[in-house]
Structure 1
């Protein structure tokens, strides 16, 4: 892991519908970090494809990950601590983020397919349809064995998920009680 002098990047990852944006926003507020949503870096073409139920290929994801990396590189240069809501489905994409000059930690939000589908069906005004959940799960290369990843269950209520994330992050980054 990079040195403690580097800014911190908390990457909240998982398939669509696990609560990445809600958790990453809450963590940004809790720690006083800048919140970023990887969805904001998708091209209009990619969003349109997903809205039509077409899963993205690795080739379509490549410029998206590069755009995120370029933005985060500037944040690091500015010394800005960030949280990032990012699917992180592919190991290669996680590796690209590991090359950035941050002290970083991945928070993998994991849950049962039925829980995720229920949450996706309850969302409004989101471009990702529930019909893409199976392709998201199929694309996910599990990060569970990677040393800079903590796994947090999404099965409890959101407030408890956030509290669990804070507890695990504080343990992993050696912080004392940050509440």
Structure 2
């Protein structure tokens, strides 16, 4: 295996397609798929389900749990794809502070497109009413050296091919 990324963090606001791309990428890149939502406490999920956005203080232990899990998995020899909002620079920096070779793939799109996607899905705890707070919390990662943008509007197979190119597909 090359010295390229061991962790691909697929990031963006809720409804941008993070889980879809990260799952597909895990299969094509021979990696373990993780959904950052699975690391939320029951309290945090209930908070969001009630229509209230999380505060940075509420997000901090969540990101710390994710970072620790990533460290364990990479130490065990795994490659990982992580579906993670990554809205705040400080949370991306917490993942960077692990020292793991990682790459952020930012699913970039406008609110109207993502709103339509959120309204079309079912069974997710994140209500459409929180989309505005997601965009308000997003500290645009464009320009950060380990971040590449992928357009939300691209077809899923095109997004996957682009992601694999960005990661230097050595699977």
Name the TM-score class by shorter chain.
over 0.9
> Would the aligned equivalents of 2:8 and 2:80 in 1 still touch at CA under 8 Å?
yes
Deviates more, 1:73-82 or 1:49-58: 73-82
Q: Residue 164 of structure 1: CA displacement? A: 2.1
Give unmatched runs, 5+ long, in structure 1: none
Matched with 1:79 is: 77
| 1:13 and 2:4 are equivalent in the alignment | no
Q: Residue 7 of structure 1: CA displacement? A: 6.5
> Would the aligned equivalents of 1:7 and 1:76 in 2 still touch at CA under 8 Å?
no
> Would the aligned equivalents of 2:5 and 2:167 in 1 still touch at CA under 8 Å?
no
Higher relative contact order (CA 8 A, sep 6+): 2
Deviation per CA, 1:121-170: give whole Å up to 9, x if none. Answer: 11111000110000000000011010000001011222222222222322
| TM-score of the superposed pair, with normalisation by structure 1 | 0.90
| TM-score of the superposed pair, with normalisation by structure 2 | 0.94
Over aligned residue pairs, what C-alpha RMSD do you find? Answer: 1.6
| 1:69 and 2:67 are equivalent in the alignment | yes
Deviates more, 1:140-149 or 1:99-108: 99-108
> Aligned pairs, how many?
170
